[in-house]
């Protein structure tokens, strides 16, 4: 019982601390369970901590405040939090860029 309660608390805190952005009437919550730093950028892919990834066609890209961004905002040395598409090891479907203030 204690373990299940702890799991519920952890999941709740994770969901409450993730940024959201509105698309019309629809809310999109980003659950970024990995973090790192962009180490290289290529034409159709990029590296986080020297591992190559690409974005899914419908990937959500946000800044730390939940405002939408594009791939043109990617820069080497930017800290990121990201989520991999279920069943893949290199396809990112959600990413948050921590742009310099």
Q: What is the 3-state secondary structure (H, E, C) of the chain?
A: CHHHHHHHHHHHHHHHCCCEEEECCEEEECCCCEEEEEEEECCCCEEECCEEEEEEEEEEEEECCCCECCHHHCCCCCEEEEEECCCCCCEEEEEEEECCC
Q: Where along the chain do its domains lie?
A: 2-98
Residue of 17, 32, 26 lying closest to 62 (CA atoms): 32
Over residues 24-37, the pLDDT tens digits come to 434 456 676 899 99
Supply the pTM of this predicted model: 0.71
Architecture of domain 2-98: Beta Barrel (2.40)
**pLDDT top residue among 78 and 3:** 78
Query: Please, what is the average pLDDT of the chain?
Result: 80
pLDDT at 30: 61
pLDDT digits (tens, 9 = 90+) for 12-25: 334 444 444 434 43
pLDDT digits 0-9 by tens, 50-64: 999 999 999 999 999
């Amino acid at each position: 019982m204690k373990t299940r309660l702890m799991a519920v608390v952890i999941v709740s805190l994770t969901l409450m601390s993730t940024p959201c952005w509105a698309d019309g009437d629809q809310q999109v919550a980003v659950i970024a369970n990995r973090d790192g730093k962009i180490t290289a950028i290529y034409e159709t892919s990029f590296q986080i901590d020297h591992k190559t990834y690409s974005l899914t066609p419908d990937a959500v890209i946000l800044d730390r405040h939940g405002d939408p961004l594009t791939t043109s905002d990617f820069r080497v040395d930017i800290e990121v939090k990201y989520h991999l598409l279920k069943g893949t090891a290199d396809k990112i479907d959600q990413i948050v860029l921590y742009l310099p203030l």
